[in-house]
Amino acid sequence: MHIHKFEQFWIKLSFVLIAFFIVTVVYGFVAMDLKVIGDHATIDPQNLADTKFGNPGVREVTRNGQTEYEVYVQTIQFAFNPGTAQPIVVPANTRVTFYITSPDVLHGFDVAGTNLNTMSIPGQVAKFTTIFPEVREYGIVCNEYCGPAHHVMEGKIKVVP
């Protein structure tokens, strides 16, 4: 059977590309060791009850003589706890450190209208510190597809005086 040389070229190229895509995906999963970038720790997603995530919410802490806040959030199909059933309430102009993890699947934690945005990965704790400068409300959205009700996974942060 005769195959035109241009056709042969494109057939070969398509196999090379397919091989390249497979290698890229395998490399992504195996070699790169998917992690939240930045300050993070690992956690057993099956046993959050025995950690601070077992009682998620806002905690007042004193650090270097200053009052600060820690917020422990679980991202769950399809809600933020806290955040969805009740808002996360924190004061303005105070350091707030978020600790975020997931007991089920990958979620996002994106504070709409800000650059606060992290993945929430089962087995990993995402952490970031911020100061909300003004009294207002912020929406939280999940920006990682997490299942059929992903699009309704929303929450709220209430910054109070």
Binding site for ligand CUA (CB under 6 A): 75, 78, 107, 142, 144-146, 150, 153
Give the nearer residue to ligand CUA in terms of CB position, either 69 or 87: 87
Record the tokens describing residue 72, joined without a space: 């422990």
For residue 105, the minimal CB distance to ligand CUA (Å) is 7
For residue 119, the minimal CB distance to ligand CUA (Å) is 10
Give the nearer residue to ligand CUA in terms of CB position, either 40 or 107: 107
In angstroms, the Cα distances linking 50 to 19, 53, 74, 79, 103 are 45, 8, 13, 21, 13
Torsion 103-106-107-108 (CA) sign: positive
For residue 22, the minimal CB distance to ligand CUA (Å) is 27
116: Cα within 13 Å, side-chain hemisphere: 22
